[in-house]
């Protein structure tokens, strides 16, 4: 019987810190649902992000049409290392609707998970769901389609066989009600090439993704995980994050070794129009020789988060970019980006 899954063909999803050929983004449209009443306030943050990234690697930007491309070009300015592609999407969260790249030796392929806007919350989403296929056409890469709903922000891998995710998201019936936990784990093994799946519990307050792991805990090395911890026992995030910390301390990697756990602070409560926003330092992006860290105008915790990550990434520069206006869209730099590994 011929091999049919990426795992059977030897493919595996590399860790985010492995060398990138490029980063993919989807530029937000002015009439999207992500930034009501705050679209133009958010644009300078996106411009800072792209200009910083372009110093370190190529940036591919999906734009819905010529109008959106013009906005992006005006926001970013005339900088090298940026390309625009007329690949439409409704919202900008490329981590979730974009392609997941897997690698075997020097061959790349795209995993095209199904996308339903985090459980059907923000229709329409047909254009977003089509982004991986369109990117694969541009890059002339083979595509694997599991037929399973899955967002890139819902899992994190160490590149050596271990994957970190949450029960709150992947077991939510608004994604794959026909699949149980064992079947979901098998999909992750088959299409990402992992062997060891670790489950956290609930996400942070204000996260409309039902608990994406990239707001909670991230691999920063094959055996090291950073995780956000709330210090205020009265805060609604305190107990869920303590529960996740307890789980992490009991976890083992693919070789049976305990994980090294490094704590990151939470930035405190960030609100807009009475709505608590899912501000988290865990939503950083690891690029070639740079770490993009969201900051929130909380000087003490911003500094601690930057110093912590800088100690962990001695080979990269940690750059903090004010994400206060961006987080109104309920996501930050990791949610916006998708890495394309070097072939």
Q: Give the active site residues.
A: 335
Token code pair at residue 95: 């981590």
Residue entry with tokens 């769901």: 129
Structure tokens given for 141: 């890469």
User: Among 330, 287, 305, 206, which residue's Cα sits nearest to residue 25?
Assistant: 287
Q: What is the dihedral of CA 333, 70, 120, 45, to 10 degrees?
A: 20
| H or E, element range at 300 | helix 299-312
Q: Which long-range contacts (CB under 8 A, 24 or more apart) does 173-176 make?
A: 174/116, 174/118, 174/119, 174/120, 174/210, 175/116, 175/119, 175/149, 175/150, 176/148, 176/149
Classify 191 in phi/psi space as left (phi over 0), alpha (psi -120 to 50) or beta. Answer: alpha
Q: What is the separation, in whole angstroms, between the first and last Cα of the chain? A: 28
Q: Please, which residues have CB within 8 angstroms of residue 239's CB and are 6 or more apart in sequence?
A: none
Q: Which residue's structure tokens are 């049919």?
A: 4
Enumerate the β-bridge partners of residue 102: 109
DSSP letters spanning 72-99: HHHHH-S-SSEEEE----SS--HHHHSP
């Amino acid at each position: 019987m011929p091999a049919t899954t990426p795992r059977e063909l030897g493919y595996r999803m590399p860790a985010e810190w492995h060398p990138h050929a490029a980063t993919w983004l989807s530029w937000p449209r002015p009439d999207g649902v992500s930034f009501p009443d705050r679209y133009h306030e958010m644009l300078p943050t996106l411009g800072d992000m792209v200009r910083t990234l372009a110093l370190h690697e190529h940036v591919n930007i999906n734009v819905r049409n010529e109008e959106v491309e013009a906005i992006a070009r005006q926001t970013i300015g005339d900088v090298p290392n940026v390309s625009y592609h007329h690949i439409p999407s409704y919202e900008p969260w490329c981590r979730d609707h974009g392609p997941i790249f897997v690698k075997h030796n020097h061959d790349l392929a795209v995993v095209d998970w199904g996308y339903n806007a985090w459980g059907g919350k923000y229709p329409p989403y047909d254009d977003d769901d089509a982004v991986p296929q369109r990117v694969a056409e541009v890059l002339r890469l083979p595509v694997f389609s599991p037929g399973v709903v899955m967002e890139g922000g819902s899992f994190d891998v160490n590149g050596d066989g271990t994957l970190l995710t949450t029960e709150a998201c992947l077991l939510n019936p608004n994604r794959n009600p026909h699949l149980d936990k064992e079947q979901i784990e098998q999909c992750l093994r088959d299409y990402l090439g992992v062997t060891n799946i670790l489950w956290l519990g609930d996400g942070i307050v204000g996260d409309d993704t039902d608990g994406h792991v990239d707001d909670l805990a991230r691999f920063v090395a094959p055996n090291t995980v950073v995780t956000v911890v709330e210090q205020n026992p009265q805060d609604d995030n305190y107990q869920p994050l303590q529960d996740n910390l307890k789980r992490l301390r009991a976890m083992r990697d693919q070789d049976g070794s305990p994980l090294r756990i490094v704590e990151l602070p939470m930035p405190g409560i960030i609100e807009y129009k009475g709505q608590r926003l899912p501000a988290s330092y865990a939503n950083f992006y690891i690029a070639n020789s740079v770490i993009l860290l969201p900051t929130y105008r909380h000087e003490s915790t911003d500094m601690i988060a930057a110093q912590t990550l800088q100690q962990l990434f001695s080979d990269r520069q940690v750059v903090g970019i004010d994400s206060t206006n961006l987080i109104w869209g309920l996501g930050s730099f990791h949610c916006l980006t998708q890495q394309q590994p070097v072939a």
